[in-house]
Amino acid sequence: TQLLEQSPQFLSIQEGENLTVYCNSSSVFSSLQWYRQEPGEGPVLLVTVVTGGEVKKLKRLTFQFGDARKDSSLHITAAQPGDTGLYLCAGVSNSGYALNFGKGTSLLVTP
């Protein structure tokens, strides 16, 4: 199993602060995905990064794929309470079908 390590595991910040979440692996991935999961729901895809060095923006969220395609980061600018949730990174496993997930970063943004 290709392991994905996420850090930090927990993050509690005030509204308006910036934050960065990291996803690292010793394996090369053809693509990495970021999901957000809210309590009582299944994860929902935010973005897929496929090219080494790629940067994608989704409103206040900025995603970056490492040059070597082994790591990725998620940066949130001016966090809002609606950003609260579990952020998961995922990469395609060696099977070519299933996704391996990191353990997630649990983010709490308080007003």
Partner 1 sequence: DVKVTQSSRYLVKRTGEKVFLECVQDMDHENMFWYRQDPGLGLRLIYFSYDVKMKEKGDIPEGYSVSREKKERFSLILESASTNQTSMYLCASSLYDRFGEQVNTEAFFGQGTRLTVV
Residues 53-92 that bind partner 1 (CB under 8 A): 88, 90, 92
Residue 50 exposure: Cα atoms within 13 Å on the Cβ side? 1
Task: Indicate which single residue of 16, 45, 58, 81 sits in contact with partner 1 (rule: CB under 8 A).
Answer: 45
Task: Indicate which single residue of 23, 25, 32, 33 sits in contact with partner 1 (rule: CB under 8 A).
Answer: 33
Q: Is 22 in the site for partner 1 (CB under 8 A)?
A: no
**Site size with partner 1, rule: CB under 8 A:** 27
Q: Which residues bind partner 1 (CB under 8 A)?
A: 1, 30-31, 33, 35, 40-45, 48, 50, 88, 90, 92-93, 95-104
